[in-house]
């Protein structure tokens, strides 16, 4: 059997995870395959030849991207050279639209089929990308059911693959809550609050200090215990340099443990809100960025809600929300404390939120998206 070559581009840690899940399935169905491109540790562990690592590629904010513009243009040039030299049979692009849309055009021009998994969020901003997706992408695999109708409205066929977060969480196993609390010397009658400050340096620096100040207030009011859900790829010193000055006792654990065992989580907006939704844990969502990034984003983004939890639960056009969102100047210890007391004091309010989140989880699909996307990839590799 002739060796098959697949180009993969996953520019962030989450993309590396989701790409690796697909590649793992592809390798079982098409053993004679060589994978190359850009990604992270999980793709590398599967034998992918990576020209660049997600640690170099992951940036957020308009001006942070602009500041790395020269480097990112070099990455694109190098990846184009690799594509031209190795001539892959197909390409799998995962999320990371700024670079992936550029590469999609190049791949299309060289008659290389493009499978795009986790599409650009054109329903939020940059709707102009729809025409490019229609022109350059052969198979568009989306992870939210509302995206299928959105793209159809714009003349683009999209396939709902299911959501990789559901697939990932379905594999997890947890010990009992009483065992977890006992191991960490936490009394079972205490309120458990999870802190999920995110994984990017900027969001940790801007949001985590206010989380901690609110935690200090909640600790006095409720004698609460606090679980710090650390992102595994983030240097612990980044959290510790902020937490060490707060005077709040924190129990280190994984983000998923914080979601599973907590009565309430304070979570920075991002994929973590979708993960918390899957656990049905009541949450307050926080987002803060640099003021200039925010000013530009406010002019471009057209959504009523900014958290994935609310978008999945209520859709694109609904103004009402399931979970509380605090944005920019509202991200203060006082506001976080006030909103937390509502959920901690009123069990009925908390339970309604929990049930709404669990109902929303059904919209994320039950199939294994990695297998669905792998089938699409293999249809080009074996075609």
Nearest to 56 by CA among 43, 77, 74: 74
Q: Are residues 37 and 152 in the same domain?
A: yes
| DSSP sequence for 113-171 | -EEEES---TTTS-TTHHHHHHHH-SEEEESSHHHHHHHHHTT---EE---HHHHHHHT
Q: Are residues 240 and 124 in the same domain?
A: no
pLDDT tens digits, 337-372: 999 999 999 999 999 999 999 999 999 987 789 999
Q: Are residues 331 and 182 in the same domain?
A: yes
Which sign, positive or negative, has the C-alpha torsion 108, 153, 12, 64? positive
Question: Is pLDDT above 60 for 105?
Answer: yes
Which sign, positive or negative, has the C-alpha torsion 269, 371, 360, 304? positive
Give the mean model confidence (pLDDT) for residues 237-250: 82
Q: Are residues 208 and 102 in the same domain?
A: no
Q: Are residues 208 and 353 in the same domain?
A: yes
Q: How confident is the model at residue 1 (pLDDT cuts 50, 70, 90)?
A: low
Q: Are residues 125 and 217 in the same domain?
A: no
End-to-end CA distance of the chain: 13
Q: Are residues 183 and 152 in the same domain?
A: no
In-domain check, residue 289: yes
In-domain check, residue 171: no
Please, which residues bridge with residue 228 across strands?
Answer: 195, 252
Q: What's the domain range around 313?
A: 176-364
Q: Are residues 12 and 154 in the same domain?
A: yes
For the chain, what is the mean pLDDT?
A: 89
pLDDT at res. 62: 44
Distance CA 197, CA 53 (A): 23
Question: Is pLDDT above 60 for 295?
Answer: no
Its pTM stands at 0.83
CATH number, domain with residue 239: 3.40.50.2000
Give the mean model confidence (pLDDT) for residues 18-39: 95
Count of the separate structural domains present in the chain: 2
């Amino acid at each position: 059997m002739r060796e098959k070559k697949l180009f993969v581009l996953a520019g962030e840690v989450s993309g590396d995870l989701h790409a690796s899940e697909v590649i793992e399935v592809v390798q079982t169905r098409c053993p004679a395959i060589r994978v190359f491109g850009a990604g992270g540790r999980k793709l590398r562990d599967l034998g992918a030849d990576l020209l660049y690592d997600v640690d170099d590629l992951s940036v957020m904010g308009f001006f942070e991207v602009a500041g790395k513009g020269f480097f990112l243009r070099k990455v694109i040039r190098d990846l184009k050279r690799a594509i031209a030299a190795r001539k892959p049979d197909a390409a799998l692009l995962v999320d990371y639209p700024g670079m992936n849309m550029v590469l999609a055009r190049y791949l299309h021009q060289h008659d290389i089929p493009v499978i795009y998994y986790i599409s650009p969020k054109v329903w939020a901003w940059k709707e102009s990308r729809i025409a490019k997706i229609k022109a350059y992408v052969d198979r568009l695999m989306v992870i939210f059911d509302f995206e299928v109708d959105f793209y159809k409205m714009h003349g683009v066929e999209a396939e709902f693959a299911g959501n990789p977060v559901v697939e990932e969480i379905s594999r997890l196993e947890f010990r009992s809550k009483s065992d977890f609390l006992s191991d960490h010397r936490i009394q079972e009658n205490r309120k458990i609050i999870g802190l999920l400050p995110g994984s990017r340096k900027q969001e940790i620096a801007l949001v985590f200090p206010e989380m901690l100040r609110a935690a200090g207030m909640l600790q006095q009011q409720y004698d609460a215990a606090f679980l710090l859900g650390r992102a595994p790829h983030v240097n612990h010193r980044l959290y510790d340099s902020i937490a060490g000055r707060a005077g709040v006792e924190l129990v280190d654990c994984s983000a998923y443990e914080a979601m599973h065992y907590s009565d309430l989580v304070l979570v920075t907006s991002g994929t973590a809100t979708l993960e918390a939704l899957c656990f049905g844990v009541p949450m307050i969502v926080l987002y803060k960025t640099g003021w200039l990034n925010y000013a530009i984003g406010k002019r471009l983004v057209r959504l009523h809600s900014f958290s994935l939890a609310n978008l999945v639960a209520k859709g694109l056009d609904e103004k009402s929300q399931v979970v509380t969102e605090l944005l920019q100047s509202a991200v203060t210890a006082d506001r976080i404390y006030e909103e937390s007391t509502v959920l901690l004091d009123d069990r009925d309010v908390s339970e309604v939120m929990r049930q709404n989140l669990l109902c929303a989880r059904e919209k994320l699909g039950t199939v294994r998206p990695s297998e669905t996307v792998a089938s699409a990839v293999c249809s080009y590799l074996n075609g």
